[in-house]
Amino acid sequence: MKLLYPLNVKNKFIFNSSARDFTVEEIPLYEFTGEGEHLILKVRKKNLTTWEMLDALSNHLGVKRKDIGYAGLKDKNALTIQYISLIAKDSSKIDEFTHDKIKILETTRHNNKIRVGHLKGNRFHVRLKKVLGVQKDKIDSVLKWIEDNGIPNYFGNQRFGTDGNNWEDGKKLINGDLKIRDRKIRDFLIGSYQSYLFNNWLTKRVELSLLLEKFSEEETEQVLGLDSGTLKGTKTQEQFFKLIEGDLMMHYPYGRVFFVEDLEIEASRFISKDISPTGLLAGDKVKRSVDKAWSIEKDFDEKTKQSGARRYAWIQVSNIEKKYIEEKAHYEISFVLPKGSYATNVLDILRGGKDNS
């Protein structure tokens, strides 16, 4: 299915996910203290996974990979900058480290090991090619829409493996049709299935919002096979992504989870970017939506044998900067996304839609 956004704009450009055209820079969760038993490395890598970079460092230093702290995994086909931590006493050989795809930019001290999730977000820089004048104007318009409205928080393709079917093995693990002893691999595959369910739920909600742009609440309910009254109070909401009674919201960009009780009030807070709706990562020990929102969410809920969570369904894109180089027909964009979000979602909207076929 091809999902188009209200702008109804189709853009053609070339984007290569490569170190020349795609840069990701991690934004730390906190300032490092400059003292302590851990050495913080600011590391730049290109055309390597984070795991490959960690292996190169652990082999050189003679330490276990698990003893090296990191906040998140970064793209392989990109130039990426991230922070990792070592126990300072294990870093005596760090000055001798050389690698043609890895460069240590800075070092400092800190009191604690960096843990997964210890980042505010990421700053992305992308270069679009073969952008002609008329396309430039369209991209300008779409970027303005993104800045004003935000974007859906889909999991990116890299979550699903080279062939895009990791989620199938995750489902087989849950159903008992596949056995894998390695816990990390097992958890990764089940996580891929959780992501698959979330993406499909989000597609349903985006489709619902798109239909409400052109049709009444009653007509949209009929098209989607929803019970009468499910979408009551959605059509009059000003924002693109419509809230439904029983949705679970979170304060943005982080905060507690709570239920939508008054659609008008919560829609106003959503527009002001104070809160945002969440979707379900199916599993144990997690709140589900209720009432009318649950009538949709329940179709994407399964027992996954691991902890569930709520994930922002809609996120904001901040610090957008752009530069058009007319003589090269290049359009360069930089922007910041919260942790766990994918730059591909911005590119999808710039193109005019997301291909879920």
Question: Coil, strand, or helix at residue 104?
Answer: strand
* DSSP track, 4-20: E-TT------B---STT
Pinpoint the alpha helices (H) of the chain. Answer: 50-61, 133-149, 166-175, 183-214, 217-224, 263-271, 291-297, 344-351
Residue 301's closest CA among 312, 316, 314, 290? 290
Tokens representing residue 240 in the block: 């693109």
The neighbouring-strand residues paired with 124 are 24, 335
Residue 193's closest CA among 211, 208, 178? 178
Cβ distance 127 to 319 under 8 Å?
Answer: no
Query: Can 148 be counted among the known catalytic residues?
Result: no
The neighbouring-strand residues paired with 258 are 249
Catalytic residue among 55, 67, 75, 90: 75
What residues are labeled active site?
A: 75
